[in-house]
Amino acid sequence: MREILDLDRYPLDRPESTAWWALVARCRADLAENGMFNLEGFMHGSVAQAEADALIPLFASESFRHARDHNIYFLDNVPGLAADHPALTRFRTSNNTLCWDQLAGSAMDRLYRWPDFARFLAAVMKKEALYPMADPLAGLNTMSYSEGQTLNWHFDRSEFTTTLLMQAPEIGGEFIYRTDLRSEENPNYDGVARMLAGDDPEVQTLTLSPGALNVFRGKNTPHRVGDVKGARARVSSVFSFYEQPAVTFSDAERQGFYGRAS
C-alpha cells in the first residue's frame, strides 16, 4: 500500500504502534471538536489524479447519472412540519456515479479491501470492528460532479461517511457544513430554516486537496458540496463500512441508487 498511501505520515500499516495510537488520538480529538477529521495527502496526490484521469472515459460512457429534487431530510414530509415550512425547502442534487464493480483493481478498490483501513477507522470511531460491504455495487462508489452539478444540503442517515477526494474542480466543489445544527433531542427546525436561508454565521467551508481523506459525522451536521464550475469535474470516492459483516442492499435499493440491480 505504500505506493498509493503516505504511510510515513499515516502509519495505518503499523496497528497498535505508538505512532498509530497517536494518529488515532488526533483523529478522535478532531471528531469531538469538529465532527470530522481530515488527513491531507493520505493518498499520494499523483496517484489520486491518475485514478481520476483513468475514470474519465468510464464516467462518459458507463456511469449512472443521479439527479433528484429533495429537501434536507430526503423525506416527502416530516411529522409536525407544515409542507411550506422553510426547513423543507427543496434543492437539486446531480452527479454521475461509478459502482464498485466498475472500480475493480483501482487504488480505491485496494484501499477499501485493505483490512488495516477498516481497523484504523474502527479504532477512531471506538467500534469493536468495521467491515466493508458485501454488495458488489454499493460498497465503494466514485462520484463525478461536472459544471452545474452539486451535492446539495442534506443530513446523512449513517453515523459517519468516509470519502477520498480524487480530483478538485477549477472553481467550487468545496465542502460546506454546519456542525451540530440539530440533536437527537432537538430537531431545531427553525435553525435549519435560517441556515438554508443563508442566515447562519456558523456555516463553515473546507477546501480539500486531491488525496485527502475526510471522515465526517453528518447525521446532525448538515452539509453540501459547492456548485462546480469550469471544465474539470470534482471526483471523489465514498467507502461504506458497517459494524456487521456481509451487508448488502436490496435489488430495489440498488435500482434506485444506481439504475440497475446487478
At a CB cut-off of 8 Å and minimum separation 6, what does 233 contact?
59, 144, 145, 146, 147, 167, 169
pLDDT classification of 123: cutoffs 50, 70, 90:
very high
At a CB cut-off of 8 Å and minimum separation 6, what does 22 contact?
none
158 pLDDT exceeds 90? no
Return the minimum-mean-pLDDT range out of 24-33, 114-123, 249-258: 249-258
pLDDT, tens digit, 9 for 90 and up, residues 57-104: 999 999 999 899 999 999 989 998 999 999 999 999 999 999 999 999
Domain 18-258 has CATH 2.60.120.620: yes
pLDDT at 168: 96
Question: 114 near 162, Cβ under 8 Å?
Answer: no
Query: Looking at the whole model, is its pTM more than 0.85?
Result: yes
Task: Concatenate the DSSP letters of all residues of 189-229 into one string.
Answer: HHHHHHHHTT--TT-EEE---TT-EEEE--SSS-EEEPPPB
pLDDT at 128: 97
Write phi, then psi, for 213 (nearest 5 degrees).
Answer: -95, 130
Rounded average pLDDT over 190-200: 97
CA–CA distance, 77 with 99 (Å, rounded to integer): 30
Q: Cα 234 to the chain's mean position, in Å?
A: 13
- Other CB atoms within a 10 A radius of the CB of residue 65 amount to 12
H helices present in the chain, as ranges: 18-34, 45-61, 107-113, 115-124, 189-196, 251-258
Rounded average pLDDT over 111-140: 98
CA–CA distance, 39 with 31 (Å, rounded to integer): 12
- Other CB atoms within a 10 A radius of the CB of residue 246 amount to 10
122 pLDDT exceeds 90? yes
Rounded average pLDDT over 173-201: 96
Q: Which amino acid is at 44?
A: H
Q: How far is CA 95 from CA 30, 173, 177, 196, 238, in A?
A: 29, 12, 19, 21, 13
pLDDT at 157: 83
> Checking DSSP bridges between strand 64-70 and strand 223-225, what pairing results, if any?
unpaired
Among 151, 35, 42, 153, which residue's Cα sits nearest to residue 87?
153
7 pLDDT exceeds 90? yes
pLDDT at 241: 96
Rounded average pLDDT over 7-29: 98
235 pLDDT exceeds 90? yes
Q: Match 477498516 to its residue by C-alpha cell.
A: 118
Mean pLDDT across the chain, nearest whole number? 96
pLDDT, tens digit, 9 for 90 and up, residues 128-141: 999 999 999 999 99
In three state form, how does the secondary structure of 62-87 look? CCEEEEEEECCCCCCCCCCCCCCCHH
